[in-house]
């Protein structure tokens, strides 16, 4: 069985995924749910999704954990401002996140743990770290107690981000906190007074610190030393560095927290990192207002996961913002669905038939196999989705070529029947590759309905009106009144609607 190779941030090299008894654990650092997810959150969810699909297609038993951080100071602040309770806010945002990721075709994780439901595990882990001498309790002036992790007690600190403890003190802005014994130490537990949001613990009421939840939840659901831990590049330091310190300090001698650390690059908007202050912040709902979710997915797959991906925006005359590169990706998804639909029109395969393929059809089998292999080996090689998409493109081209060939030779019944053989092979191949990529998750009819409706809405058109004009044009064509038919078509084209005349009638579509 081929084993996927991934770039491990910890060793800065390509390594085979570590499998234990046919099992693989994948932990994805999910979002802190204080707001709707942004475009970058989508990318971070998509990367492990591709990995999990690939691993499962190899027959491996994958436990996929994607956490929801629903306890955090940002959530508390937002809740205060909007007059709701923190868990009400984060619960709602978590649902939004889950719904949007599902729309983007991301697999449902095996487990989607929340911090608020893992407080006992977090408290137990903190206790273990204290016992090992790597954390200490500090009493604050208001009577509450914090627990801090002692960075200097963990000799491997900095191994993931390649930072040296002593260099961290220079230049960096480390908040002075008189209660910590070392400015580098970070909170495992933050004390809270009786009227504040919190849970009881051996150190009094409080809330978990930022990093401890991932250590507790990955430990609970995957155990120590699981296969792959994923997240955005910006989590390398301090989040993942601290996770490693906590988990490994809690269980000295039990090896690394995770075998492989996989980090995805940023999604930049107009060449810069998204940030609210720059005003280039793009949320997933912003994208889906304008593009089909599968188009967005295709777009995210056009760049290698570790490379930054550029999301360019264009502001229309009416002030609306569009994403030209996602539009382009969406046109490729149109092509995917229209090709699959065409392929379905080929003669149905009858299994008992044994036909010697005509010479013209022979190359199809070979190139189909080659392209499936190209797609698979590129994904096995550090999830190279752009190359896999190129291979998929070749398959789609072959499928159209085959359909064109059948059309050209339609008077030759033996040939038409023979077409079913490569047609079936191609259909299977396309489904296999799109399965790895999480594309083609609807039927062509569903996709057409969905995009027609959404694109019509976006342009302020009604599908009934369009259908009416198309019908009118068909009547004109039947009467061979081409001047009128063309005028109607031009009118539709001005609305952004293109009409395709086929033997079975006119089909219309709205451009992405």
- Contacts with 20 (C-beta within 8 Å, 6 or more apart), sequence order: 227
Phi and psi for 373 in degrees, rounded to 5?
A: -65, -40
Among 328, 409, 442, 444, binds RNA (CB under 7 A): 328
Unique residue bearing structure tokens 């990706």: 329
Q: What are phi and psi of 319, to 5 degrees?
A: 95, -10
320 lines the binding site for RNA (CB under 7 A): no
Q: Which of 448, 184, 202 is nearest to 337 (CA)?
A: 448
Contacting residue, 93, 129, 135, 403, with RNA by CB under 7 A? 403
Query: Residue 238: is the preceding peptide bond cis (ω within 30°)?
Result: yes
Min CB(247)–RNA separation in Å: 17
**Identified binder of RNA from the candidate list 132, 397, 409, 458, rule CB under 7 A:** 397
Cβ–Cβ under 8 Å, residues 260 and 228:
yes
60 or 485: CB nearest RNA: 485
**Residue 88 found at the interface with RNA (CB under 7 A):** no
Check residue 343 for interaction with RNA (CB under 7 A): no
Residues 237-256 that bind RNA (CB under 7 A): 237-239
Give the tokens for residue 371: 């392209």
Backbone phi, then psi, for 74, in 5-degree steps?
-65, -35
CA distance 474 to 472: 5
- CB nearer to RNA: give 19 or 215: 215
Is 59 one of the binding residues for RNA (CB under 7 A)?
no
Please tell me whether residue 341 binds RNA under the rule CB under 7 A: no
Using the rule CB under 7 A, give the single segment among 52-60, 99-107, 324-332, 355-363 that binds RNA: 324-332
The binder of RNA chosen from 3, 36, 111, 303 (CB under 7 A): 303
For strand 272-273 and strand 267-269, is the pairing parallel, antiparallel, or unpaired?
A: antiparallel
Residue 267 CB contacts under 8 Å (≥ 6 apart), including other chains: 39, 40, 42, 43, 274, 300, 308, 309, 311
* Pairwise CA distance, residues 496 & 80, whole Å: 46
By CB under 7 A, the residues from 201 to 220 that bind RNA are 210
CB of 137 to RNA, least distance (A): 20
User: Is position 31 an interface residue for RNA (rule: CB under 7 A)?
Assistant: yes
**Taking CB under 7 A as the rule, does residue 272 contact RNA?**
yes
Separation CA 393–CA 399 (nearest Å): 10
Residues near RNA (CB under 7 A), total: 81
Least distance (Å) from RNA to the CB of residue 354? 28
Kindly indicate which of the ranges 16-24, 122-130, 166-174, 436-444 contains the residues binding RNA, using the contact rule CB under 7 A. 166-174
Among 81, 173, 176, 478, binds RNA (CB under 7 A): 173
Residues 39-58 that bind RNA (CB under 7 A): 40-41, 43-44
What's the CA gap between 170 and 203, in Å, rounded?
A: 32
Q: What does the per-residue mask of binding to RNA show for 375-394, with x meaning CB under 7 A?
A: ---x---x-x-xx-xx--xx
Binding track over 463-502 against RNA, x by CB under 7 A: --------------x----x--xx--x--------xxxxx
- Of 92-151, binders to RNA (CB under 7 A) are none
d(CA 215, CA 222): 10
Tokens 């650390």 locate to 261
Least Cβ distance, residue 511 to RNA (angstroms): 8
Task: Give CA–CA dist 18/15, Å, rounded.
Answer: 9
Q: What is the dihedral of CA 357, 362, 368, 371, to 10 degrees?
A: 170
Tokens of 63: 């436990």
CA 32 – CA 48 distance, rounded (Å): 17
Determine, following the binding rule CB under 7 A, whether residue 411 of this chain makes contact with RNA. Answer: no
- Contact between 274 and RNA (CB under 7 A)? yes
Q: Which of 273, 349, 366, 431 binds RNA (CB under 7 A)?
A: 273
Is residue 65 at the binding interface for RNA, with CB under 7 A as the rule?
no
CB of 234 to RNA, least distance (A): 5
Closer residue to RNA, CB minimum distance, 308 or 435 = 308
């Amino acid at each position: 069985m081929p084993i996927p190779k991934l770039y491990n941030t910890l060793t800065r090299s390509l390594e085979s995924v570590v499998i234990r008894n046919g099992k693989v654990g994948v932990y994805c650092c999910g979002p802190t749910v204080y707001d709707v997810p942004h475009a970058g959150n989508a990318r971070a969810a998509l990367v492990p999704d591709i990995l999990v699909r690939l691993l499962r297609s190899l027959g491996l038993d994958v436990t996929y954990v994607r956490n929801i951080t629903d306890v955090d100071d940002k959530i508390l602040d937002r809740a205060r401002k909007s007059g709701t309770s923190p868990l009400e806010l984060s619960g709602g945002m978590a649902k939004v996140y889950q719904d949007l990721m599902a729309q983007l075709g991301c697999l449902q994780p095996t487990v989607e743990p929340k911090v608020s439901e893992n407080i006992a595990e977090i408290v137990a882990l903190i206790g273990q770290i204290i016992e090992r001498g790597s954390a200490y309790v500090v009493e604050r002036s208001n009577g509450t107690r914090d627990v801090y992790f002692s960075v200097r007690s963990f000799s491997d600190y900095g191994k993931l981000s390649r930072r040296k403890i002593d260099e961290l003190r220079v230049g960096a802005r480390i908040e002075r906190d008189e209660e910590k014994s070392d400015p580098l130490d970070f909170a495992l537990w933050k004390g809270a007074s009786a009227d504040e949001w919190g849970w009881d613990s051996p150190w009094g009421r409080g809330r978990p610190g930022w990093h401890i939840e991932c250590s507790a939840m990955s430990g609970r659901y995957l155990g120590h030393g699981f296969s792959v831990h994923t997240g955005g590049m910006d989590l390398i330091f301090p989040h993942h560095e601290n996770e490693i310190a906590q988990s490994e300090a809690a269980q000295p001698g039990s090896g690394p927290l995770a075998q492989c650390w996989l980090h995805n690059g940023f999604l930049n908007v107009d060449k810069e990192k998204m940030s609210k202050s720059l005003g280039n912040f793009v949320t997933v709902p912003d994208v889906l207002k304008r593009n089909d979710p599968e188009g967005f997915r295709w777009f995210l797959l056009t760049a290698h996961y570790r490379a930054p991906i550029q999301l360019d925006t264009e502001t229309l005359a009416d002030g609306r913002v569009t994403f030209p590169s996602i539009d382009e990706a969406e046109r490729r998804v149109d092509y995917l669905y229209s090709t699959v639909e065409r392929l379905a029109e080929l003669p149905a395969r009858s299994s008992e038939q044994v036909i010697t393929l005509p010479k013209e059809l022979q190359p199809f089998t070979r190139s189909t196999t080659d392209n499936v292999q190209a797609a698979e080996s590129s994904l096995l090689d550090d999830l190279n989705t752009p190359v896999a998409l190129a291979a998929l493109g070749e398959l789609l081209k072959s499928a159209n070529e085959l359909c064109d060939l059948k059309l050209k030779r339609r008077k030759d019944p033996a040939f038409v029947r023979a077409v079913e053989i490569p047609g079936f092979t191609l259909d299977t191949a396309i489904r296999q590759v799109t399965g790895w990529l999480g594309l083609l998750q609807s039927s062509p009819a569903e996709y057409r309905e969905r995009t027609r409706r959404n694109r019509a809405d976006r342009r302020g058109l009604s599908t009934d009106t369009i259908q009416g004009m198309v019908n009118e044009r068909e009547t004109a064509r039947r009467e061979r009144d081409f001047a009128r038919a063309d005028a109607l078509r031009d009118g539709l084209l001005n609305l952004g609607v293109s009409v395709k005349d086929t033997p079975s009638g006119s089909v219309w579509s709205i451009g992405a």
